[in-house]
Structure 1
Amino acid sequence: MDQWITFAQDRWYFIAVAIIVLFIVIGVVKTLVKWVLVVIIIGVIVVYGANYKDKLQSIGTTIVTKATEEAKDGAAKALASEAKDAKYTVDKDGAFVITTKNLKVEGKVGSNDVEVTFLGATFTMQADGVVSTFIEQAKKNSGSSS
């Protein structure tokens, strides 16, 4: 039902045009063809509205993907700018945590993936490039050589 409400809100002009065409067809055409055209127009609206949910899902997926990319870009910039204030701690099992005022980076020593939490969003990043430099700087800040 929600997809029909969203469809009506987003495509009200399509529905309005279809209703106008229906009134014209009903007023002008006086044969059986009139009812065939009415059924076709209503069928087009139903098919378009029923498939509208798929379009909304693809739009939602695109938005989530772009938001994740923006968050990762922001995290990479924060990694570079906050490296000097990073605090590095490592557990006996090899898991480490690096914290700054805006970031939290978690991983295992020797692993190529780390979990980055930035502005409440957590995602996985490769421990190379900026992330690797950040980890090394955090180690230097803490005086740890592990």
Structure 2
Amino acid sequence: MDTQVWLEFLKQNWLVIAIALIVLIIVINLVKTVIKWALVILIIGGLLIYSGISLDQISEVVTTVTNETVDTVKTEAMNMMMKEAKEAKYTSNGDGTFTVKAPNLELKGSSGSKEVEVSFRGVSVGKWDINETIQEFIGQAKKN
């Protein structure tokens, strides 16, 4: 959710919001039953509907931001792999698994697997399919 959108909405609808807040204060102070909370929910719901924001739109924004963040982290990690390949150390764990450590990256996987678990700057960024860049990184680490 862009703050600029909210500011523009507030500028355009400040009178409606002010009236709704006054009605809310009156309802909360005067009505002392369950009806009070039903009226509060109706007023807030009315404002949300009036603003034109739906739960689908909120969900879509959250999904978009999440996907962009994951893509950015993956791109940064891949770039880091290329830069730190000469410093990477390959360690065979003896049970068919391996670990590749570089200053900012750590890969854990098993021999013959098509996936590795990637940690970037100490934070797990999930399991990734082994692509050409990751294969080269592991190969360079074995040479080191």
Q: 1:3 maps to what in 2?
A: none
Please give the alpha-carbon distance, in whole angstroms, between the structure 2 residues aligned to 1:116 and 1:58. 27
**Counterpart among 46, 67, 90 of residue 65 in structure 1:** 67
User: Which 4+ residue blocks in structure 1 deviate beyond 6 angstroms?
Assistant: 7-10
Q: Which runs of 5+ in 2 are unaligned?
A: 19-43
TM-score (norm 1): 0.65
**Counterpart among 9, 12, 25 of residue 10 in structure 2:** 12
What code does the residue aligned with 2:95 have?
D
Deviation at 1:43, TM superposition (A): 8.2
**Counterpart among 130, 133, 138 of residue 135 in structure 1:** 138
What code does the residue aligned with 1:16 have?
W
Residue identity (%): 31
Please give the alpha-carbon distance, in whole angstroms, between the structure 2 residues aligned to 1:56 and 1:131. 35
Give runs of aligned pairs for residues 1-146 of structure 1, distance below 5 A. 11-16=9-14, 18=16, 45-48=47-50, 51-119=53-121, 120-141=123-144
Please give the alpha-carbon distance, in whole angstroms, between the structure 1 residues aligned to 2:71 and 2:12. 34
Q: CA RMSD in A?
A: 2.9
Cα shift readout 1:19-46 (whole Å, capped 9, x = no counterpart): 69xxxxxxxxxxxxxxxxxxxxx98644
Q: Which runs of 5+ in 1 are unaligned?
A: 1-6, 21-41, 142-146
TM-score (norm 2): 0.66
CA contact (8 A) 2:78 2:133 kept: yes
Larger Rg: 1
Q: Which deviates the most, 111-120 or 101-110?
A: 111-120
The change in CA–CA distance for 1:46 and 1:101 in structure 2 (over 3 A counts) is closer
Count of matched residue pairs: 114
